[in-house]
Amino acid sequence: MNLRWLLMTESFLATVVLPGANLGTHSITISDGVIVGLEPIEGSADLIAFPGLADIHTHGAAGESFPSSDLPGCLAAARHHRSNGSTTLLASTVSLPAERLLPQLRLLADAVDLEAIDGIHAEGPFINSCRCGAQDPAAIIPGDPDLLQRMIEAARGNLRSITFAPETAHVHELIDICADNNVIVSLGHTDAAAAETAATIAYAVKRGASVTATHLFNAMPPLHHRSPGAVAALLEAAAAGEATVELIADGVHLDDATVAMVLSLVGAEHVTFVSDAMAAAGKADGQYTLGALDVTVADGVARLTTSDGSEGAIAGGTSRVIDQLRRQARAGHPLAEILQACTSGHRLVGRPHRATIELNSPANFILCDSNLQITRVFREAKEVG
């Protein structure tokens, strides 16, 4: 990664905003990458400082794809997200045959060793093919505990999250393996009923596993008053503090009113905004790939390419988490509230210190102008170039 050690002393005047709290104008001083001064002052500031963001579900950026690119390509994709403020980053794969998936997990583990990413999220292959979305149906298989164990070994302990459907085979065995290896149980790409989903969540909680919803509402049945489905169970679990729900708050995957409803129902601290970005993030419209599938991006919206030119399924996102933060701020949400949803991923992957700005701590924050355009990003006492 393009990181620069902060072997100097600098001071900034900025409005400091933390998840859940606007602290007002402060003078921030960093020396050798450590915050050595954090003093409240009177008056206003041109800059805004808030903790770096977390993106625990992203497939790529800058023309590169985590499920298929080589190591330099994966590093370029990670660098793009880091420079756009995502200081915690999980690289997401897609459903692939084992002979392709396992080598890619080994490659992404190399990216973890290089500190380019913080871990790996496997989206599939144990999902429901009837809710495949932009996943290749041919690569989707029933739950296979042996393959999951091989995936964890290939990732060298860096598999931090896996998406599977509550109705997949051997679901309790999959959860047991996740709990024993500190892997987040992320439920999604599912056709399960509410009761089945709730029972799966309850088992995961009993086993001590963290639970998330993979891009809530997308790739699952819509909430219906006579058939509430997985959405209802996941919302109920999040409201009870037993799960965190991913939202792709980009205005494409979800309407802004839906985002507002979820924030109100479960609390922003139980939401995590994710990009679900594919290779087109940061690039122009055009032709791309996601795993083994061709994708067409038009007007910034990624969809599977179809042979007859009809509108294909949404195929990942083209936004970054910072874009979603800006969008929801424009929609009227207080920045302190949105930051709760943009930083909860730090806690989920064991990096809670990245969600705050504290005296005598390594610099982990973003400086923005009044339009929330990033001017500088600091991560673990280093500046992201």
Which residues does the annotation place in the binding site for Zn(2+)? 123, 189, 215
Question: Is 12:49 a contact under the CB 8 Å cutoff?
Answer: yes
**Distance from C-alpha of 4 to C-alpha of 383, rounded to nearest angstrom:** 5
Tokens of 175: 């959860």
Question: Among candidates 42, 44, 29, 51, which has minimal Cα distance to 359?
Answer: 29
**Distance from C-alpha of 86 to C-alpha of 358, rounded to nearest angstrom:** 19
Distances (CA, A) of 349 to 78, 110, 302: 17, 18, 28
Question: Is 349:54 a contact under the CB 8 Å cutoff?
Answer: yes
**Distance from C-alpha of 305 to C-alpha of 307, rounded to nearest angstrom:** 7
Select which of 136, 276, 285, 299 is catalytic.
276
Q: What is the DSSP letter of 355?
A: G
Task: Count the neighbouring beta carbons within 10 Å of the beta carbon of residue 352.
Answer: 12
Who contacts 329 (Cβ-Cβ below 8 Å, separation ≥6)?
335, 338, 372
Distances (CA, A) of 170 to 135, 144, 146, 282: 21, 7, 11, 39
Who contacts 284 (Cβ-Cβ below 8 Å, separation ≥6)?
297
Q: Is 234 helix (H, G, I), strand (E, B) or coil?
A: helix
Question: What is the distance of C-alpha 280 from the center of its chain?
Answer: 16
255 given a catalytic annotation? no
Question: Is 217:258 a contact under the CB 8 Å cutoff?
Answer: yes
Active site positions, annotated: 276
